[in-house]
């Protein structure tokens, strides 16, 4: 069964710092990859997704992620974070032929002024 | 227009009670899901339905019974509530089974507190 690992559980950054959140998945076949964000007290919103093609995908609010198939990774990046980026970030995977979205354990990001 | 809507948003109830959470999507999607988010924010799938048919039942206690009257609705009924059922429950929908090739849209969540 597929699984997703997010290695950073809590990240604290100052405004304008660069962000990289790690995500690794375990599945050897075709995958769809997602990053969702959950702002405090709110529902999950899609930041970006990878289905196929260019492995560097750009999402909303200046986020991007790079799919590296050889490393089974889909790390999330942002060059300069803002206080409003404080939220929980979830990496998720759906496998080809699979029937469910599997989430990582989440990374809590706190951006300090 | 809310794409996936759940009611209620908050639910506080006593142990042993029976409660329901309703979910509706207006996206025309074929597949709907229930996810449970525990106190550590871990999200785990509970059920999925495709066109009213149960696709996934992830070893959830049989006190939890999903009901899908049509493909736009997926309700969750919980019998004999226990303290450990306290969590946030998210409903979601996607066009295809499992969301492959598409994305899942989530409702705002229902925070269930069992006292």
Structure confidence by residue, pLDDT tens digits, B53-69: 888 888 789 999 999 99
Q: Give every CB contact of residue B61 below 8 A, 6+ residues apart in sequence.
A: none
| Residue B80: φ, ψ to 5° | 45, 60
For residues A78 and A66, is the Cβ–Cβ distance under 8 A?
no
Best probe of the A interface among B36, B51, B103, B105, by most A CBs < 10 A, is B103
Nearest to A32 among B33, B100, B109 (CB): B100
pLDDT for A30: 87
Q: Is the pLDDT of residue A16 over 90?
A: yes
Q: Is the pLDDT of residue A98 over 80?
A: no
The position carrying tokens 């004999």 is B80
Q: Is the pLDDT of residue B109 over 80?
A: yes
Higher-pLDDT residue of B95, B14:
B14
pLDDT for A108: 96
Give Cα separations from B17 to A78, B6, B59, B80, B81 (angstroms): 46, 20, 21, 5, 5
Asked if A32 lies within 8 A of B99 by C-beta distance, the reply is yes
pLDDT band with cut points at 50, 70 and 90 for residue B1: low
DSSP B25: E
Averaged pLDDT for residues B5-22: 97
Q: Around A11, how many Cα atoms within 13 Å sit in the side-chain half-sphere? A: 26
pLDDT for A88: 96
Q: Give every CB contact of residue B95 below 8 A, 6+ residues apart in sequence.
A: B27, B29, B30, B31, B101, B102
Neighbours of B89 (CB within 10 A): 22
Total number of residues shown for chain A: 113
User: Cα distance from B16 to chain A (closest Cα, Å)?
Assistant: 27
Chain A residues within 8 A of B90 when measuring between CB atoms = 43-44
Best probe of the A interface among B10, B57, B88, B100, by most A CBs < 10 A, is B100
Q: Give every CB contact of residue A113 below 8 A, 6+ residues apart in sequence.
A: A14, A15, A83
Q: How far apart are CA B7 and CA A97, in angstroms?
A: 32
Which pLDDT tens digit goes with each residue over A34-91? 999 999 888 899 999 999 999 999 999 999 999 999 999 999 999 999 999 999 999 9
pLDDT for A51: 92
Asked if A94 lies within 8 A of B99 by C-beta distance, the reply is yes
């Amino acid at each position: 069964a597929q699984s997703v690992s997010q290695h950073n559980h809590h990240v604290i950054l100052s405004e304008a710092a660069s962000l990289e959140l790690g995500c690794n998945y375990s599945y050897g076949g075709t995958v769809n990859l997602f990053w969702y964000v959950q702002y405090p007290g709110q529902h999950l919103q899609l930041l970006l997704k990878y289905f196929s093609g260019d492995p560097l995908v750009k999402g909303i609010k200046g986020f991007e992620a790079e799919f590296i198939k050889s490393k089974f990774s889909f790390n999330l990046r942002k060059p300069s974070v803002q206080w409003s980026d404080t939220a929980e970030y979830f990496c998720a995977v759906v496998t080809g032929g699979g029937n469910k979205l599997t989430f990582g354990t989440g990374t809590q990001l706190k951006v300090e002024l | 227009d809310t794409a996936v809507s759940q009611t209620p948003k908050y639910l506080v109830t006593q142990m042993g009670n029976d409660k329901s959470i309703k979910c509706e999507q207006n996206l025309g999607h074929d597949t709907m899901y229930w996810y449970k988010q525990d106190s550590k924010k871990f999200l785990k799938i509970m059920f999925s339905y495709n066109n009213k048919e149960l696709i996934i039942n992830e070893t959830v206690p049989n006190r939890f019974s999903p009901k899908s009257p049509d493909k736009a609705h997926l309700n969750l009924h919980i019998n004999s509530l226990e303290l450990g059922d306290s969590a946030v429950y998210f409903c979601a929908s996607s066009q295809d089974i499992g969301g492959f090739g598409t994305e899942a849209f989530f409702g705002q969540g229902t925070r269930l507190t069992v006292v």
